[in-house]
Chains A and B, each alone.
Chain A
Amino acid sequence: MSSHLSEDQISRSFLGRSTMEEHEHLQNCAQCRAEMERFRAMCSLFRTAMKDLTDRLVASGVSPTIAAEERTIRPRAFYWQWALVGVAAILLTVIPLYESYYSLRHQTETKHAATQSIDSASESATSGDVLLMEAVMAHRARALPAPMEPVMILLPSDALGRESDEPKTRQRSLLPGEIR
């Protein structure tokens, strides 16, 4: 142990919970004993001051009221706190409901829009098919292929007959049994 008691040891001794060694040291060390007595005196002074203060307050009019008499009920200031709790509860209930309603409505609108686009695409596909078939039929009905038509325009109109000996590669071959 050092020459004097530590702060914890003095605090423990002040509360009457010192060890034998600490107690003996206090018996022999005037400085530690004086320090502990000073703190004890301050606490005693504080106790006296508090008693004096309350006695003065009671004497000046802070007087006791008998509980049996009518007691003024002070309005508690926590009604607004419960109002805040209620508002918070309502918001926590309403906001999820609104979000689910809004998402459901958005999904419905999205589906409707998708359905409409599919229908319009089907209609345009149908008309396109008809046009394509007409173009194919027209192409097959040509006497000459389309790339040859500009060339045949340049030839005289009787050239088609003299050139009957020319290999008529472009003429449609006769089908079996067919007479030209």
Chain B
Amino acid sequence: MEQIATSGFIAAAMENPVTEIEDFNRVVEQYWPRILRFILASVHDVDTAETLTQDCFWNAYRHRMSFRGDSSLNTWLMRIAVNLVRDLARNRRLQFWKRAHRTAIDSAAAREWLPDRSLSPEQRAAINEQVGAIWDATHSLSERQRTVFLLRFVEDMDIVEIAEATGLTENAVHVHLFRAVRAIRKRLGNKYE
């Protein structure tokens, strides 16, 4: 599980997520990057990711009274985000005639995944190539496989949280995760040798 810096706000949130959601402005500030990261990794488009992230928090604000603290606030927000991504994928299948969005990110366009100036150009190039390879590989996964892979290895959620966020059983999460890892490894091939 992701290491969370101890602060008064977070400590209170961990104790009572229902209390946490009352200060919705802070909720947005705290969880916005996380939701944006997951959605961006899912849809590979900046503008779409921003729009869906806004939709996610808008839906969370409208239904904040229905949040009873059965799960963590992060899991609850991720569930909303997962549903929005799924709805987008379903609508895109029906609108196959639409061209790719101009703000789409592909691995070739994202030349600087990690603009760390302390690294040599060769090291940066190798890193960019590896990250770009996984970026492309996740794009080739099915929607469910991509979702569970991103929630596990980008958002550091455990199997129980992933099952709550996706509405799947834990066994199904294991199966989809295994298939995702196998597919990505197969696609990467010798890239990391």
Contacts and interface: CB of A to CB of B under 8 A. Distances in A.
A160 interface: no
A126 to B, nearest CB: 72
A176 to B, nearest CB: 107
Interface string B124-137: 00010011011100
B168 interface: no
A52 B112 CA distance: 10
A45 B181 CA distance: 15
Nearest to A40: B153
Given A42-B188, A66-B24, A55 B33 contact: yes
Nearest to A47: B154
Given A7-B182, A68-B24, A68-B25, A53 B174 contact: no
B192 interface: yes
Q: Which of A14, A39, A64 has the most CB of B within 10 A?
A: A64
B37 A50 contact: yes
A8 B182 contact: yes
Given A17-B174, A54-B40, 8 more contacts: A8-B182, A11-B182, A15-B181, A43-B153, A46-B134, A49-B113, A50-B40, A68-B25
Given A45-B131, A66-B28, A71 B33 contact: no
16 contacts: A7-B185, A11-B181, A11-B185, A15-B177, A46-B131, A49-B113, A49-B127, A49-B131, A55-B33, A57-B36, A58-B33, A58-B36, A62-B36, A62-B46, A64-B28, A66-B24
A130 interface: no
A62 B52 CA distance: 12
B178 interface: yes
Contact of A71 (B46, B54, B135, B188): B54
Nearest to A69: B25
The number of chain A residues touching the other chain, given as a range, is 20 to 34
B12 interface: no
A96 B127 CA distance: 64
Nearest to A78: B91
Interface string B167-193: 000000010011001100110100011
Given A15-B178, A62-B36, A67 B135 contact: no
Contacts of B156: 47
A180 to B, nearest CB: 110
Question: Contact residue range for chain B?
Answer: 35 or more
Interface in B126-159: 127, 130-131, 133-135, 153-154, 156
Contact of A43 (B28, B61, B134, B186): B134
Interface string B57-79: 11011100000000000000000
A67 B174 CA distance: 35
Contacts of A66: 24-25, 28
B114 interface: yes
Given A17-B174, A52-B113, A10 B185 contact: yes
A127 interface: no
B29 interface: yes
A48 B37 CA distance: 11
Interface in B94-131: 110, 113-115, 127, 130-131
A128 to B, nearest CB: 72
